[in-house]
C-alpha cells in the first residue's frame, strides 16, 4: 500500500499522485456502496496491481473548499497583474478574507513585472507601490514576470510538497505562471472552461497538477465576489493591520466606523493604514451587516 494525493476523478477513474508518478485507480466496491465523494486533494492509500491501482482508504480532510472543490488546501496563490488588467484590489481584499476565513495561507503574486518596469509611472526602484502596501501588512508578496522568468524560482520554492490553488481574475497570468513554473507541461493561456457532460449544470473542471514539486490547481473559481458568512465583529480579524490595533480602540465592540477614539481611524490618519484598505473594510462591513439582516 502506498500513500498519495488524488489529482482528479475522470470517466470513472481516479488519478492519484504517489511515489513520483500518476496512477490510474479504480475504487474498492465498499466506497461505491458508501457513496463516498472524493475531491482532488484527498489523501488516499492505494494498492498498486501491475500498472493500475485501487483506492483502499481515504484520510479525513483537513479542510475543503467548495469553489473550487479541492480538499486539504495548504495555500492560495492570489494572482494579480501589476499593470493590465489593472489590479482589482477590492477583489484581492475579498479573496484575502475568503482565504483567511477558510484558514488557508494566502500568498500574493503580482505578475507582469516586465511591463511594470517599462511603465513610465514606475519609479525604477525595487519599491513597487502596490506590493509595498501588502508586504507591510505582513502578507507574503512576490513580484514576478512569467515572460522573463524573474521571481519564478522564488514562487516555485513555496510550492514544494504543498497543495496550492491559483486564484485571481482572468488575464492576470495564472496559466502563464503555471507554465513558467513547470517548463515542458504547457497549459493553454487565455480563458478556458470545460462543460460537465453530467447534466445541465455547467461546472468548472478541477484538477491538481504536479508543479515545482507540489500540487497546484489552476482554476478560474474561487474568485466569487461574495464574502463568507461571518459576523460583523469578525471582519476585523481578516485585516491583520486592524486586528493588531483593535485592543487600543475605546470600545471593545468598535467596528472602526463612526465610533469615537478608534485606534484604526487614528492609524489611518497617521498614514499607517492604507486608505484603500480602510475603504474596502467599510464596504465589506456594510455588506456583512446587510447579510446579517437577511437571516
Ligand atoms: N508581459 C507579460 N505578459 C504576461 C505575463 N503573464 C501573462 N502574460 C500575458 O497575459 C495574458 C493572460 O495570461 P494568462 O496566463 O492566460 O492569464 P489567466 O487568465 O490568469 O490564466 C496572456 O496574453 C499572457 O501572455 C507576464 O509576466 N508578462
Ligand atoms: Mg488561465
Ligand atoms: Zn476601532
Report the CATH number at residue 85.
3.40.50.300
Q: Is the pLDDT of residue 170 over 50?
A: yes
Residue 262 CA to ligand 3 center (angstroms) comes to 4
Same domain assignment for residues 73 and 206: yes
Which of 92, 186, 189, 223 to mutate for ligand 1's pocket (most ligand atoms within 8 Å of CB)?
Answer: 189
User: By the 8 A CB rule, do 160 and 214 touch?
Assistant: yes
Q: Is the pLDDT of residue 258 over 90?
A: yes
Structural domain total, the chain: 3
Lowest mean pLDDT among 132-136, 189-193, 194-198: 194-198
What cell numbers appear for 77 in the block?
A: 496563490
Top pLDDT among 93 and 195 is at: 93
Residue 176 CA to ligand 1 center (angstroms) comes to 5
Residue whose Cα lies nearest atom 1 of ligand 1: it is 112
**pTM higher than 0.75, yes or no?**
yes
Residue 227 lies in a domain: no
Q: Could you count the other beta carbons within 10 Å of the beta carbon of residue 2?
A: 14
Same domain assignment for residues 170 and 205: yes
Residue 95 lies in a domain: yes
User: By the 8 A CB rule, do 189 and 179 touch?
Assistant: yes
Residue 135 CA to ligand 3 center (angstroms) comes to 23
Same domain assignment for residues 149 and 257: no
Q: Is the pLDDT of residue 111 over 50?
A: yes
Q: Is the pLDDT of residue 128 over 80?
A: no
- For helices 152-159 and 174-181, give the axis angle rounded to 10 degrees: 80
Specify which of 114-118, 185-189, 231-235 reaches the highest per-range mean pLDDT: 231-235
Residue 12 CA to ligand 3 center (angstroms) comes to 54
Residue whose Cα lies nearest atom 26 of ligand 1: it is 112
Same domain assignment for residues 69 and 182: yes
Same domain assignment for residues 202 and 236: no
pLDDT tens digits, 10-61? 888 999 999 989 999 998 766 664 556 889 999 999 999 887 899 998 999 9
Same domain assignment for residues 81 and 10: no
* CA pair distance 50, 48, nearest whole angstrom: 6
Structural domain including 23 reads: 2-58
Same domain assignment for residues 89 and 149: yes
The domain spanning residue 240 has which CATH number? Answer: 1.10.40.50
* CA pair distance 152, 145, nearest whole angstrom: 7
Among all bound ligands, the one having the nearest atom to the CA of 173 is 1
Residue 223 lies in a domain: no
Residues lining ligand 1, CB < 6 A?
111-112, 114-115, 145-147, 170-176, 189-191
Residue 224 lies in a domain: no
pLDDT in the model for residue 20: 87
Residue whose Cα lies nearest atom 5 of ligand 1: it is 112
Residue whose Cα lies nearest atom 12 of ligand 1: it is 171
pLDDT in the model for residue 34: 56
Residue 203 CA to ligand 2 center (angstroms) comes to 16
pLDDT in the model for residue 109: 97
Average the pLDDT over 210-238 and give the result: 81
The closest alpha carbon to 54, from 10, 11, 1, 9, belongs to 1
Q: Is the pLDDT of residue 232 over 60?
A: yes
Q: Of 18, 37, 58, which marks where a domain is finished?
A: 58
Q: Are strands 163-167 and 214-218 parallel, antiparallel or unpaired?
A: parallel
Top pLDDT among 135 and 130 is at: 135
Specify which of 90-99, 162-171, 241-250 reaches the highest per-range mean pLDDT: 241-250
Q: Of all residues in the chain, what percent carry a pLDDT higher than 70?
A: 83
pLDDT in the model for residue 94: 93
pLDDT in the model for residue 37: 81
Average the pLDDT over 271-283 and give the result: 96
Residue whose Cα lies nearest atom 14 of ligand 1: it is 173
User: By the 8 A CB rule, do 82 and 110 touch?
Assistant: yes
The closest alpha carbon to 219, from 191, 184, 185, belongs to 191
Instruction: Read off the pLDDT band of 130 (50, 70, 90).
Output: confident
pLDDT in the model for residue 65: 81
- The mean pLDDT value of the chain amounts to 85
Q: Of 218, 244, 271, which marks where a domain is finished?
A: 218
* CA pair distance 239, 244, nearest whole angstrom: 9
Q: Of 194, 218, 242, which marks where a domain is finished?
A: 218
Which class for 186: exposed (0-12), middle (13-18), buried (19 or more C-beta within 10 A)? exposed
Q: What's the chain's Rg over C-alpha atoms?
A: 21
Residue 172 CA to ligand 1 center (angstroms) comes to 6
pLDDT in the model for residue 96: 94
User: By the 8 A CB rule, do 172 and 85 touch?
Assistant: yes
* CA pair distance 142, 193, nearest whole angstrom: 27
User: By the 8 A CB rule, do 66 and 203 touch?
Assistant: no
User: By the 8 A CB rule, do 205 and 196 touch?
Assistant: yes
**How far apart, in Å, are the Cα atoms of 12 and each of 24, 26, 38, 59?**
10, 7, 12, 20
Same domain assignment for residues 194 and 86: yes
Amino acid at each position: 500500500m502506498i500513500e498519495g494525493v488524488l489529482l482528479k476523478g475522470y470517466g470513472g477513474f481516479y488519478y492519484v499522485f504517489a511515489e513520483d508518478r500518476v496512477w490510474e485507480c479504480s475504487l474498492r466496491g465498499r466506497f461505491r456502496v458508501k457513496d463516498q465523494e472524493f475531491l482532488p486533494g484527498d489523501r488516499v492509500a492505494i494498492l498498486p496491481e501491475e500498472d493500475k491501482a485501487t483506492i483502499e482508504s481515504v484520510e479525513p480532510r483537513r479542510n475543503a473548499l467548495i469553489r473550487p472543490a479541492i480538499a486539504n488546501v495548504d495555500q492560495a496563490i492570489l494572482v494579480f497583474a501589476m499593470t493590465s488588467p489593472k489590479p482589482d484590489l477590492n477583489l484581492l481584499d475579498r479573496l484575502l478574507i475568503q482565504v483567511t476565513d477558510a484558514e488557508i495561507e494566502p500568498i500574493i503574486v503580482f505578475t507582469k513585472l516586465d511591463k511594470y518596469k517599462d511603465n513610465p509611472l514606475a519609479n525604477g526602484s525595487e519599491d513597487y507601490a502596490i506590493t509595498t502596501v501588502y508586504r507591510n501588512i505582513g502578507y507574503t508578496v512576490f513580484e514576478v514576470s512569467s515572460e522573463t522568468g524573474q521571481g519564478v524560482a522564488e514562487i516555485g520554492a513555496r510550492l514544494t510538497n504543498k497543495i496550492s490553488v491559483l486564484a485571481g481574475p482572468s488575464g492576470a497570468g495564472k496559466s502563464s505562471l503555471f507554465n513558467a513554473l513547470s517548463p515542458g507541461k504547457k497549459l493553454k493561456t487565455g480563458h478556458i472552461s470545460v462543460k460537465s457532460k453530467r447534466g445541465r449544470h455547467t461546472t468548472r473542471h478541477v484538477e491538481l497538477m504536479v508543479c515545482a514539486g507540489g500540487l497546484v490547481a489552476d482554476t478560474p473559481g474561487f474568485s466569487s465576489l461574495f464574502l463568507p458568512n461571518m459576523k460583523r465583529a469578525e471582519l476585523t480579524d481578516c485585516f491583520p493591520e486592524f486586528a493588531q490595533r483593535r485592543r487600543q480602540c475605546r470600545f471593545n465592540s468598535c467596528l472602526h466606523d463612526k465610533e469615537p477614539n478608534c485606534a484604526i481611524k487614528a492609524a489611518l490618519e497617521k498614514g499607517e493604514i492604507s486608505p484603500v484598505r480602510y475603504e474596502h473594510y467599510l464596504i465589506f462591513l456594510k455588506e456583512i451587516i446587510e447579510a446579517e439582516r437577511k437571516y
